Chain A
Amino acid sequence: MQINDIEKQVRMYAGLTLVLDHKHLLRDQIQLKEHLDKYGNITPGTKLSQIIESIKNANPLSNPRWISNGLVIDSRFTLHELSEGHHLHKNRSSDKLRYQLELLVKNLFEAKTYAEIDVWYDKVNSLLKKSIKTGETLTLIEMLKFRTQTIETLTRAQAEYVLSLVTRLEQKFSSS
């Protein structure tokens, strides 16, 4: 398969660019046989690293890498994983608030003082302000209420304090 055709096929899964040194030296076909289906297309289970290896076999000096928006993409991803956006950070997804709140819940496991819990509250409060749908915000607060009840590293008094803060959030956002 020619270099340009490899790039075209990968782009059917994700908007990547193949960057090569000495591209003009790669005029021969790249041998990808074991990664092709019966129609001659690269299979979705193929990893970028396997394509890179085949290109290097054709020219060891080519230094192939796949980039997207300036970032060198981890070559362990398969084409299928790329099509599902595994190479993109979760904060770029529409579910980023839930993702970040889950991370913040984990931070509470490390909290030892009331001051640290207050810092946690400020972060959660500021994050929830970014939610534009009241229904979504309340669902997220419900999740917080559930998850923060199981944190064993907090003292009983601290756990009650956390619950009071989450309840305060609930009242604040349900009335807004």
Chain B
Amino acid sequence: MSATTISGKALVPARPERSAGVWTTAGRRLWRDRVGMVSLGIVLAFVLLIIASAVGLVAKNWQKEIAVPDAPPTFVGARAEQSGAAAIVSLVPKDAKPVDLSDIDPLAPKYKEWNERAAKIEVAEPPRAATLLFGADRLGRDVLAKAVKGAEISIFVGLFAAVVATLIGTVLGALAGYVGGKLGDFLEWVYNVFTSIPDILLIFAFAAVLGRGILTVVMILGLAGWTGMYRQVRAEYIKHRTREYVRAAEAIGVTHVQRMFVHILPNVSHVILVRMSLLVVGFIKAEVILSFLGLGVPVDQVSWGTMLSEAQAELVLGHWWQLAAATLLMALFVTAFSLFTDALRDALDPKLR
């Protein structure tokens, strides 16, 4: 079968003035879009950052307690000594001796033994910085390292959930649009069922049965978010199914699966790509909220959502840096990614404007 295709191609003489393909022209349009290129640069910088953090080049020791609890950022300056503790101490006269309770204290004979035993245990108190570049959290962990590690988890979840949703939506959408008939009706029914349940309840229902964990979050978001992709891919397939190039492929005996995924798919891939990048932004936001509610990443991991949930209590004490770090990184990435998506859509589908 494929032999026919190859020999069929060989009959046509190679034309030198081949017009540029859809991807080349889109690339050129994107290159001219200044906002798009700047945002692409920021997105790529983030990608490099999370790769570096994933292989352990940066933010490897984010769990180490390297500063005093809630150490402020360097540009704010170290905090003055706690005045509260000093006030309590000053209530006691300086020359007062502790009252001797050893006659009535039943544990008194054991104190010496315990002190000896305690002395045998080596306690290493690592040096703790009074300030850090962007402050420290409640446990004295570097906020900047946490934010980078959080970016890794949040963006990873967003990207992979989008891949999962895209796979489900594309395969089902292609089947429904290309095959149609009974199968199409069945898939439409599944689509109706999924869209009739409000998104957030669908996510909660999946979260209730699937439990916690990073991969679980990816699955939950992917399973709950494929419907938009399905709808669009299905519409595209219905449109392309009867186009001449598909009929021509049919005439030379290309199989259904090949027509669906080798012939039509590249022609609708730009739609899928744009829709997928919209999903990434949505899923990153959703992951942050799920992690905040305790339904997302486990406690031994960090994401922008868990940072924000810690920040809620810290803000009352005036420790704003964790909130600021997570918010700034997230806003920067999401803005850049959204602008890039807009530019991508304009470049790939100039008719849409």
Indicate whether A and B interact.
no
Binding site for A on B (CB under 8 A): none
**Residues on A facing B (Cβ under 8 Å):** none
